[in-house]
Amino acid sequence: MEQTLAIIKPDGVSRGLIGEVILRIERNKLKIKAMKLIQMSKTQAQGFYAVHRERPFFQSLTDFMCSGPVVVMVLEGENAIKRWRDMMGATNYKDAAEGTIRRDFATDIEKNVVHGSDAPETAAFETGYFFNALERV
Ligand code: CMP
């Protein structure tokens, strides 16, 4: 069993897409092991995306990620990392496959509705960033 971090980003929450995203997660038989609605500070967003700190979009991305509430979740299942990334679609919604969340709902490469960990090490860091052991069922 593998765990991964999923985030419904501020655009997804403000556009009323929490239910839609959770429906897709449950339909795809990924288990929700932890979930909460939070609003990150700028410092927390910078810490979360530290791996991107040299990228030209870092400032804008971290401003966006603390611009409103987000839903953070730990998902579990076999191949959970890849399965959740397949459900999300490519970072750029224009490249995302039909039927993916980003293809269906994203409006912008930055405002792309959802986030998912990209590897086991990232998943360990990212799930631990938001949840301690007592917060996971
Ligand atoms: P995410 O999967 O959360 O990982 C990093 C985020 O940076 C990505 O989704 C996008 O929201 C954002 N991002 C990636 N590439 C770009 C880009 N070229 N311009 C602006 N934002 C980007």
Q: Quick one: pLDDT band at residue 135, thresholds 50, 70, 90?
A: very high
Rounded CA-CA distance 20/101 in Å is: 9
Q: Quick one: pLDDT band at residue 107, thresholds 50, 70, 90?
A: very high
Catalytic option among 9, 80, 115, 123 = 115
Q: Quick one: pLDDT band at residue 26, thresholds 50, 70, 90?
A: very high
| pLDDT number for residue 28 | 98
pTM metric for this prediction: 0.97
Mean pLDDT of 45-60: 98
In a domain, 59, yes or no: no
Q: Quick one: pLDDT band at residue 105, thresholds 50, 70, 90?
A: very high
Rg, the chain, Cα only: 14
Rounded CA-CA distance 130/36 in Å is: 9
Mean pLDDT of 99-113: 97
Q: Quick one: pLDDT band at residue 20, thresholds 50, 70, 90?
A: very high
In a domain, 46, yes or no: no
In a domain, 56, yes or no: no
Q: What is the CATH number of the domain that holds 117?
A: 3.30.70.141
Mean pLDDT of 55-84: 98
In a domain, 52, yes or no: no
In a domain, 98, yes or no: yes
For 1-137, list the strands marked E by DSSP.
Answer: 2-8, 31-38, 70-77, 114-116
Question: Does ligand 1 come within 6 angstroms of the Cβ of 112?
Answer: yes
Question: Does ligand 1 come within 6 angstroms of the Cβ of 108?
Answer: no
In a domain, 105, yes or no: yes
Give the structural domain span for 26: 2-40+69-131
| pLDDT number for residue 103 | 98
In a domain, 24, yes or no: yes
Question: Does ligand 1 come within 6 angstroms of the Cβ of 57?
Answer: yes
Domain count, the chain: 1
Mean pLDDT of 90-116: 97
Cα–Cα distances in angstroms (integers) from residue 127 to residues 3, 15, 43, in the given order: 8, 24, 17
Mean pLDDT of 51-67: 98
Residue nearest (by alpha carbon) to ligand 1 atom 10: 110
In a domain, 47, yes or no: no
